[in-house]
Amino acid sequence: MGKLFIVPTPIGNLEDMTFRAIRVLKEVDFILAEDTRTSGKLLKHFEVSTQMYSHHMHNEHKTLEMIVNRLKQGENVALISDAGTPAISDPGFLLTRACVEEGLEVDCLPGATAFVPALVNSGLPNDKFVFEGFLPVKKGRQTRLQLLAEETRTMIFYESPHKLLKTLQHFKEYFGGERQISVSREISKLHEETQRGEVQKVLEYYTQKPPKGEIVIIVEGKK
């Protein structure tokens, strides 16, 4: 039986790649990548020549059987996403579950994940927290926000730059403008930035200065 390796990749700074991750990518029989063009640049940088195949949200249901069969035949495979740890708001869960159900070994390497540094440097309580990822775009968004308005643990959200203002407006509406939040963007990149304070204050800041890059929002729980 082969083994599935879940391999985190840098979310910005290439120096965040671990020695172990590079070794595994060189040693496995093939690599599954969310976007082979993006991952191709990463593999070239670290001189990894392992065969690579596409594995993303639009084809992961169709490729599961083929991947599981190759693992059963003794091949080892590494799964990577465009950035960060696979299966955290990225493809990976379905394949991991399929391997577990088939009794195949799964090894997730520790590594880069955007929400961890955002949570730690937010200054908000991090002894108990809940990861929400991306909020529903339309259907279910209002219901979800109504439920989260009563959440007492620190909350973690992912958001795209063009939707940040809308999301902050919703936080103001459902959580209150005085709720403490922290917005981190471009984590580990050259223009990394974190804005902390009340929802209203952060909303005003990004209204004046439209955000760019990947964003993690940390929200204080209800007191």
pLDDT in tens, 159-195: 999 999 999 999 999 999 999 999 999 999 999 999 9
Beta strands of the chain (E only): which ranges?
3-6, 30-33, 52-54, 77-80, 105-108, 129-133, 154-159, 180-185, 193-198, 215-219
- pTM, whole model, 2 decimals? 0.92
**φ, ψ dihedrals at 103, nearest 5°:** 75, 20
d(CA 30, CA 82): 16
**Would you say the C-alpha torsion 115, 120, 125, 126 has a positive or negative sign?**
positive
Neighbours of 204 (CB within 10 A): 14
Residues 180 and 202 sit within 8 Å (Cβ to Cβ): no
Tokens representing 85? Answer: 């740890």
Structure confidence by residue, pLDDT tens digits, 108-165 = 999 999 999 999 999 999 999 999 999 998 889 999 999 999 999 999 999 999 999 9
33-75 residue pLDDT tens: 999 999 999 999 999 999 999 998 788 888 899 999 999 999 9
Which of 85-94, 144-153, 159-168, 212-221 is the least confident region? 85-94
